[in-house]
Structure 1
Amino acid sequence: MNRDQLSFVRHDMLPEAEPPVTEKGIVKWLRENLFSSVSNTVLTLAAIWAVYYLVSASGPWLINGVWDTSSLSQCREVLQGQVGGCFSVLTERWNQLLFGFKYPTHLYWRPALAFVLLFVALAPVLFSKIFPRKMLVLTGLYPFIAFYLIWGGTILTPIFALLGIVLGFLVYRKLIYQSAAMGLLGGVATAFVFWILTGMLGDTVAGVLALEPVASRDMGGFMLNLMLGVVCVSLSLPLGILLALGRQSTMPIIKVICVVFIEFIRGVPLITLLFVANVVLAYFLPPGTNFDLILRVIIMITMFASAYIAEVIRGGLAALPRGQYEAGDSLGLDYAQSMQFIILPQALKISIPGIVNVAVGLFKDTTLVSVISMFDLVGMVRGPILASTAWNGVYWELFGFSALLFFVVCYGISQYSQWLERQLQTDHH
């Protein structure tokens, strides 16, 4: 056989060659994400320059910051003309920024404990796949525990409030088989009658397992923003769902009521509703009636947020194909069952970004209560702290700290919503 006709067959594999430098590691990431084109390169260089400018300008202000003086004048004496922030206002007035200037200092442990328990109560709701469903009992009890810790007074007040809700729910379950409207009205009426009867007990139960009471006017700081944000978001979501369903109802009276409510609330600025809560509501109440200001503000902010959430959820309901509604009918489900098991889970999943957007905006809008003389975080900064002679002129430090607190909360809400969307993702395109 001719030697030229023989073919060579390799018995051993060649060793793997290293990929080019431009196709691995940090170089590949930079080339693909920051320098993939001329326009991206220009934007990257501009962003690097902007970051450098901000860091070089704010770096000395942060590094040379003073933390241990008792006034702005002492800060300036320590700095001696150098650039630096006067962060001593944060170390000296941290309690007022967080709890207000009237909340008793020896009772700070109570709102702090309520804040810690908030995460325990939210855990089984936000991460239902991780925590056992038995923890939902604590979630249901948390509002009453938090009220007892923050406001104090007799423990019978939150107990009676809980019992009223339980009795109302039992009546609702009993009457709902006859009519949904009758069940709802019967449950609400039962709860109110029970609360009125127990409220007549008054002073006879005032000292039973009582904590030192704290008036609503003594609450302020970031604690007030958190209270308003958590309560109003929690209440506005179910109310918004009811309004969205009511707007799509075939019953004319219910539909008209929901449409008028939603359109009126969405057409009025929140600050106007807060002024109504602060001033106008008193004219519609009997003389001598003491209607707590925080409760009035909660009602108005909840109404405002529920109208926006109703429109977001209505968009989710409209996005579902007609076949989903027909699926419930084909299975023999009634309206309530179809909504509970088929329609609302899908509509709420679609509406998550819009609901989170409303929740974040609502939490930031709680700072508007400062215009009606409620000393929340911004109210404390603009009022007692900057009005004092010791810290008059400290702006960047106080407002920067306020912005940081709000950013942490709002960013956490946003990240959770993105995580929840990934968990609920069912398509794999």
Structure 2
Amino acid sequence: MTPPPAHTTTAEVIAAAGDRERRPPAMSVGPVGWLRANLFSSWLNTAVTLVLAYLVVSWTLGLISWGVINAIWEVPGTGAQVDTSACREARGEGACWALIGEKYRFILFGLYPFEEQWRPALVVAIFVALYVVSAMRRFWNRWLGFIWLVALAAIGVLMWGGVFGLRFVEQERWGGLPITLILSTFGIAFAFPLSILVALGRRQTSMPAVRALCVVYIELIRGVPLISLLFMASVMFPLFLPEGMNIDKLLRAQVAIILFAAAYLAEVVRGGLQALPKGQYEAADALGLSYWQKTGFIVLPQALRMVIPPLVNTFIGMFKDTSLVLIIGIFDLLNTAKTSIIEPAWQGFGVEAYLFVAAIYFVFCFAMSKYSQDLEAEFNRHRRR
């Protein structure tokens, strides 16, 4: 031990020794301390950690070997003349990513004319840009509605065509990712305001008829699966239309999805309204605000802020539930992936197709989840102490 300098007083020596004694042990702080406290705190915890670490490492190495090292990226031939013998020889040992290289355009855009597939690709880009702009708070003003109208008009022109020299493409040939984005985007855009009105109607005490109607709507829609609503929209709804009148099946599916999502969202919004302290309502009444002023300026902003996680959870569920539109003959992203492996040459390689689609779903769903977390943290910043 190094002796203290000659000019150091006894009090300084004691204080320095006390500081050294008060320092925590090196093994109890930092990453090493976290590992000891959370993963190796006991013999049972250590055993579980080692077993799980072995499983994770072995699974990761196996996945890398199957998906990268031994994978087949290209096969000779195209179309009906494709030779998939290399993929079949490597089955079980390596992935056949050549399927994605051969079928990715069909998976993404369905039966849309091959030479016109730049149009649905541009539609996907417009949707993504629209989501990004809508997520930025600096655009939360009157211009956002105008941007949405222009973007949706451009999407309709690109998908249908028939104007500006674009070839007309009937809706029956649409498919893939654009269908998924159209159904989910319009579903969220129309279901959310409808759910707010239904939630407010269910809490009405001065209008029993409106309250009863909202209760019946919510309980009826939530009591049946989405498949049944899609089936009724496809088969039974046309029976109630005047003779000679027909509504496109994509629009019928869209209406069914909107009604289904609105019922679930209404209950989420109602939960936020009930969680709001009664004093907020009384304060608004004391200010002499009308019902809609109280609801729009005081009640709804606070209620929606508290239910951001379940709202986004419902949005994500609806985004994935669009795959059920296959029952009425609409091929969304998941259904085009299923159809892509029907050909005899590609049968047996469904895992690769489903992983490709799962990655696309994950990107959109994770983006919604991450944005909701950031939005919730920003809105609840005033609650932090």
Alignment partners' CA distance in 2, 1:339 and 1:82: 59
Tell me how far 1:370 sits from its aligned partner: 1.8
2:373 to 391, 405, 418: 418
Aligned residue number for residue 27 of structure 2: 22
Aligned residue number for residue 31 of structure 1: 36
Aligned residue number for residue 325 of structure 1: 281
For residues 169-228 of structure 1, give each alpha carbon's deviation from its aligned partner in whole angstroms, at most 9, with x where no partner exists.
xxxxxxxxxxxxxxxxxxxxxxxxxxxxxxxxxxxxxxxx45322211111112211221
Deviates further, 48-57 or 16-25: 16-25
Does structure 1 residue 105 correspond to structure 2 residue 114? yes
1:120 to 119, 122, 129: 129
2:94 to 84, 87, 112: 84
* Distance change >3 Å, CA 319–CA 77, structure 1 → 2: closer
Tell me how far 1:10 sits from its aligned partner: 4.3
* Distance change >3 Å, CA 73–CA 336, structure 1 → 2: same
1:294 counterpart letter in structure 2: L
Equivalences for residues 27-176 of structure 1 within 5 A = 27-62=32-67, 63-69=69-75, 70=77, 71=82, 73-76=84-87, 79=90, 83-100=93-110, 102-129=111-138, 131=139, 133=141, 136=144, 137-154=146-163
Aligned residue number for residue 219 of structure 1: 174
* Distance change >3 Å, CA 139–CA 33, structure 1 → 2: farther
Alignment partners' CA distance in 1, 2:316 and 2:11: 68
Aligned residue number for residue 299 of structure 2: 343
Tell me how far 1:56 sits from its aligned partner: 3.5
For residues 368-395 of structure 1, give each alpha carbon's deviation from its aligned partner in whole angstroms, at most 9, with x where no partner exists.
1123322222222333x22212111112
Tell me how far 1:37 sits from its aligned partner: 4.5
Alignment partners' CA distance in 1, 2:167 and 2:153: 16
Question: Do 1:124 and 1:132's aligned partners in 2 also have CA atoms closer than 8 Å?
Answer: no
* Distance change >3 Å, CA 116–CA 380, structure 1 → 2: closer
Alignment partners' CA distance in 2, 1:281 and 1:237: 23
Aligned residue number for residue 248 of structure 1: 203
Tell me how far 1:343 sits from its aligned partner: 0.2
Alignment partners' CA distance in 2, 1:36 and 1:135: 56
Aligned residue number for residue 190 of structure 1: none
Does structure 1 residue 353 correspond to structure 2 residue 353? no
Secondary structure at the aligned position of 1:387 is classed as coil
* Distance change >3 Å, CA 316–CA 77, structure 1 → 2: closer
Question: Do 2:127 and 2:181's aligned partners in 1 also have CA atoms closer than 8 Å?
Answer: no
Question: Do 1:72 and 1:86's aligned partners in 2 also have CA atoms closer than 8 Å?
Answer: no
Scaled by the length of structure 2, the TM-score of the pair is 0.87
Alignment partners' CA distance in 1, 2:149 and 2:36: 52
Secondary structure at the aligned position of 2:346 is classed as coil
2:85 counterpart letter in structure 1: Q
2:101 counterpart letter in structure 1: T
Identical residues among aligned pairs (%):
40
Aligned residue number for residue 195 of structure 1: none
Tell me how far 1:132 sits from its aligned partner: 7.2
Aligned residue number for residue 6 of structure 2: none
Tell me how far 1:332 sits from its aligned partner: 1.1
Alignment partners' CA distance in 2, 1:142 and 1:64: 44
Does structure 1 residue 277 correspond to structure 2 residue 233? yes
2:341 to 386, 390, 395: 386
Aligned residue number for residue 10 of structure 2: 8
Alignment partners' CA distance in 2, 1:397 and 1:123: 29
Tell me how far 1:248 sits from its aligned partner: 1.3
Alignment partners' CA distance in 2, 1:210 and 1:339: 48
Alignment partners' CA distance in 2, 1:234 and 1:40: 48
Tell me how far 1:298 sits from its aligned partner: 0.4
Question: Do 1:124 and 1:133's aligned partners in 2 also have CA atoms closer than 8 Å?
Answer: no
Question: Do 2:195 and 2:263's aligned partners in 1 also have CA atoms closer than 8 Å?
Answer: yes
* Distance change >3 Å, CA 375–CA 72, structure 1 → 2: farther
Unaligned stretches of 5+ residues in structure 2: 1-8
* Distance change >3 Å, CA 245–CA 388, structure 1 → 2: same
Alignment partners' CA distance in 2, 1:40 and 1:241: 48
* Distance change >3 Å, CA 320–CA 82, structure 1 → 2: closer
